[in-house]
């Protein structure tokens, strides 16, 4: 069958970002309040249209910088910046009322981030507890607020990706500063998984997993009490044995 351009109407490609961080011992996601139609006034994930001269990775990295001021780094968590990876593609014909829009969602993880500054067509931006956005409530007892477009689905996929990957990879260190204590890493696992972990058992597992953590040679008292040993991410990307997620 010969190619007929009229049979393939134009469509747009966007990138949407699930930006996750740990703030005050809770897993939080970045959301922006839309300042323009469609869904004006609703909360949404940050993102935007892919420019004609961009590939998908460049567009996602640009949006991440515009929304958070962070640069994306690749697999090396010791490099300052944020972990950024492609999450999934969303192409329901009716997902955007303006036109046919295919979104390539990305997941970004970074240590405790400052209060965001809105940009583009966003009226405001804030960090919200991921469980509250997903309908599981939060410490303030807020009810679930639906996100614009299909962003509820995208957020759920991003949170589950993060929860799953920290079981078998060193991705949890992306939520930590370059040097961190085992206690700080444990609180990352507790925030992402939403469970309490036994400190001694956790310490034994993470320090006994080859390549997971490397002593930095320093100590800190920023958590109070006696000086705690500082570590940095090791060279391992896959954990063997894995850190199995307990039931909440």
User: Is 247 or 200 the better-scoring residue by pLDDT?
Assistant: 200
Please tell me the distance from the alpha carbon of residue 39 to that of residue 42, in angstroms, as a whole number. 6
User: Is 218 or 9 the better-scoring residue by pLDDT?
Assistant: 218
Please tell me the distance from the alpha carbon of residue 43 to that of residue 122, in angstroms, as a whole number. 9
pLDDT > 90 fraction of the chain, expressed in percent and rounded: 68
Q: Do residues 240 and 205 touch, judged by C-beta distance below 8 A?
A: no
Domain residue ranges in the chain: 5-168, 171-233
Q: What is the pLDDT of residues 79-100, one digit of tens each?
A: 456 899 999 999 999 999 999 9
Q: Mean pLDDT over residues 38-42, rounded?
A: 93
The pLDDT of residue 122: 53
**What's the chain's Rg over C-alpha atoms?**
20
- Give the model's confidence band at 204: pLDDT under 50 very low, under 70 low, under 90 confident, else very high: very high
Give the number of residues written for the chain. 248
Q: Tell me the CB-side half-sphere exposure of residue 98, using CA atoms within 13 A.
A: 14
The pLDDT of residue 75: 46
The pLDDT of residue 77: 45
- Give the model's confidence band at 11: pLDDT under 50 very low, under 70 low, under 90 confident, else very high: confident
Please tell me the distance from the alpha carbon of residue 160 to that of residue 154, in angstroms, as a whole number. 10
Give me the CATH topology for the region 171-233: Arc Repressor Mutant, subunit A (1.10.10)
Q: What is the pTM of this model?
A: 0.88
Q: Mean pLDDT over residues 16-45, rounded?
A: 93
Q: If one looks up domain 5-168 in CATH, what number appears?
A: 3.90.79.10
Q: Mean pLDDT over residues 153-182, rounded?
A: 96
- Give the model's confidence band at 207: pLDDT under 50 very low, under 70 low, under 90 confident, else very high: very high
Burial classification of residue 45, based on how many CB atoms lie within 10 Å of its CB (0-12 exposed, 13-18 middle, 19 or more buried): buried
Closest alpha carbon to 83 in 214, 224, 237: 237
Tokens, residue 14: 């966007």
């Amino acid at each position: 069958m010969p190619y007929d351009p009229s049979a393939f109407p134009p469509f747009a490609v966007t990138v949407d970002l699930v930006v996750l961080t740990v703030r005050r011992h809770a897993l939080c996601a970045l959301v922006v309040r839309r300042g323009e139609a469609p869904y004006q006034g609703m909360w949404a994930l940050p993102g935007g249209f892919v420019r004609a001269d961009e590939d998908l990775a460049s567009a996602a990295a640009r949006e991440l910088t515009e929304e958070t001021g962070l640069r994306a780094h690749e697999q090396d968590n010791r490099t300052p910046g944020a972990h950024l990876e492609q999450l999934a593609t969303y192409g329901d014909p009716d997902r955007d009322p303006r036109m046919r829009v295919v979104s390539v969602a990305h997941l970004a993880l970074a240590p405790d981030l400052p209060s965001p500054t809105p940009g583009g067509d966003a009226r405001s931006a804030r960090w919200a507890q991921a469980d509250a956005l997903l309908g599981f409530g939060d410490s303030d007892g807020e009810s679930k607020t639906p996100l614009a477009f299909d962003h509820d689905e995208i957020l759920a996929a991003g949170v589950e990706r993060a929860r799953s990957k920290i079981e078998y990879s060193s991705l949890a260190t992306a939520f930590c500063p370059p040097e961190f204590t085992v206690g700080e890493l444990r609180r990352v696992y507790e925030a992402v998984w939403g469970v309490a972990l036994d400190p001694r058992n956790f310490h034994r597992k993470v320090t006994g997993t080859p390549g997971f953590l490397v002593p930095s040679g320093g100590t800190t008292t920023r958590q109070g009490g006696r000086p705690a040993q500082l570590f940095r991410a090791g060279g391992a990307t896959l954990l063997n044995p894995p850190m199995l997620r307990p039931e909440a």
